[in-house]
């Protein structure tokens, strides 16, 4: 059976006070690939973590801080991103100014929209993997989705696991436009969704760096197009939504 392990985190908020909400992450096609990345990432973190510690030099509790995108310096960020680019990396950028005002004005609507954006992100990643012949849509597949730990923003109205499964296995009908979106896979699909504490998961920490880096790039408006083109030469898939 084919295997896909996806790790995802967000950067920014869905609000008129910010320009962008970004979902970013990294993908592995086997347990061994995931373990190889984890070992490489840990080696980098081990070499830099003490410089982010606030404890005195003569005292160490061994309780190392998680190195977040919002606090990492440029040199260390570059080391991590260069490692991530050896694998399959993705980002989806929500341009907040383009989101309908009726969504932005309601907390519950924003919650449901964020859940929907997560599904779109996951589906776009799978479509790209099929297009690039990394996975075969005619063969059985296990899709394991891991997201930074959070509460269900739509107060239980939305089940990401079931929604993803129905969409990629059976397709979906858009009743507003009378359009049927065909399923992505023709064989058996096994979908799992896990919400994980980032401090306990190396790949979720990497997803935080990827999402944060993408958002930083978007704010360099004069270089945005050039930088995005450069990223797309590597294994970095960037989509814009809506």
pLDDT given for residue 109 in this prediction? 87
pLDDT given for residue 165 in this prediction? 86
pLDDT, tens only, 180-226: 578 889 889 999 999 999 888 999 999 999 999 999 888 876 566 66
Count other C-beta atoms under 10 Å from residue 180's C-beta: 10
pLDDT given for residue 221 in this prediction? 60
Judged by phi (left if over 0) then psi (alpha if -120 to 50, else beta), residue 133 lies in left
Reported confidence tier of residue 62, pLDDT bands at 50, 70, 90: low
pLDDT given for residue 149 in this prediction? 83
Cα dist. 224→9, 46, 144 in Å?
21, 32, 32
pLDDT given for residue 151 in this prediction? 47
Rounded to whole angstroms, the Cα distance separating 140 from 4 reads: 11
CATH of domain 2-241: 3.30.420.10
Domain boundaries, the chain: 2-241
Count other C-beta atoms under 10 Å from residue 135's C-beta: 21
pLDDT, tens only, 29-58: 999 999 999 999 999 998 988 777 776 666
pLDDT, tens only, 137-178: 999 999 999 999 864 454 444 578 888 888 888 877 554 545
């Amino acid at each position: 059976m084919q295997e896909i392990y996806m790790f995802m985190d967000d950067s920014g908020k869905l609000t008129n006070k910010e320009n962008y909400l970004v979902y970013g992450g990294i993908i592995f096609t086997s347990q061994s690939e995931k373990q190889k990345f984890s070992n490489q990432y840990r080696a980098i973190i081990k070499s830099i973590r003490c410089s982010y510690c606030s404890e005195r030099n003569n005292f160490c509790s061994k309780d190392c801080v998680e190195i977040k995108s919002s606090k990492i310096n440029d040199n260390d960020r570059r080391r991590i991103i260069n490692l991530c680019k050896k694998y399959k990396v993705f980002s989806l950028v929500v341009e907040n100014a383009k989101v309908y005002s009726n969504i932005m004005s309601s907390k519950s609507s924003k919650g449901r929209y964020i859940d929907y954006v997560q599904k779109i992100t996951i589906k776009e990643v799978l479509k790209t993997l099929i297009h690039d012949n990394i996975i075969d849509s005619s063969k059985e597949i296990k899709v394991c989705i891991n997201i930074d730990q959070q509460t269900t923003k739509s107060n239980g109205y939305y089940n990401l696991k079931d929604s993803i499964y129905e969409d990629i296995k059976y397709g979906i009908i858009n009743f507003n436009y009378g359009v049927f979106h065909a399923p992505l896979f023709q064989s058996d699909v096994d979908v799992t969704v896990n919400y994980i504490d980032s401090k306990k998961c190396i790949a979720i920490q990497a997803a935080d760096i990827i999402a944060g880096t993408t958002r930083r790039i978007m704010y360099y408006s004069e270089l945005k197009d050039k930088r995005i083109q450069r990223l797309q030469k590597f294994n970095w898939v960037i989509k814009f939504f809506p």
